[in-house]
């Protein structure tokens, strides 16, 4: 079985997502790609970083800072969710 992945220009995707602050649906329309293909490509950029991408240095810095802010926000939301879940369980046990 051969996997035929959709190739997306990661440089253009990074510019659209983190420089122009476009939403995923707008990026899908602009690139003519599916939501899942765009999300997988965004995940690839987040996981691999931007240091080897063909971008201007100021773009790399700006994009990496935006990615770091997104990750920090997600971590904070996860911690809050866990805290709320734990508090809810403790309340149920107390009753």
The pTM for the full model equals 0.75
Residue 40 to residue 45: CA distance in whole angstroms: 9
Backbone angles phi, psi at 29, to 5 degrees: -65, -45
CB-CB neighbours of 38 under 10 Å:
21
Domain spans, the chain:
10-67
| CA 63 vs CA 3, 5, 57, 85, 87: distances in Å | 29, 24, 10, 33, 36
Which tens digits make up the pLDDT trace of 26-69?
Answer: 999 999 999 999 999 999 999 998 999 999 999 999 999 999 99
pLDDT for 1 equals: 47
* pLDDT of 84 higher than 80: no
89 band by pLDDT with thresholds 50, 70 and 90: low
Confidence at residue 7, expressed as pLDDT on a 0 to 100 scale: 83
What is the percent of the chain where pLDDT is above 90? Answer: 69
pLDDT of residue 59: 96
Q: What is the DSSP letter of 5?
A: P
């Amino acid at each position: 079985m051969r996997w035929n992945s959709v190739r997306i220009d990661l440089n253009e995707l990074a510019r659209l997502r983190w420089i122009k602050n476009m939403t995923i649906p707008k990026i899908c329309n602009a690139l003519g790609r599916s939501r899942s293909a765009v999300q997988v490509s965004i995940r690839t950029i987040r996981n691999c970083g931007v240091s080897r991408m063909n971008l201007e240095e100021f773009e790399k810095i700006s994009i990496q800072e935006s990615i770091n802010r997104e990750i920090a926000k997600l971590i904070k939301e996860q911690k809050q969710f866990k805290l709320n879940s734990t508090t809810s369980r403790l309340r149920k046990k107390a009753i």
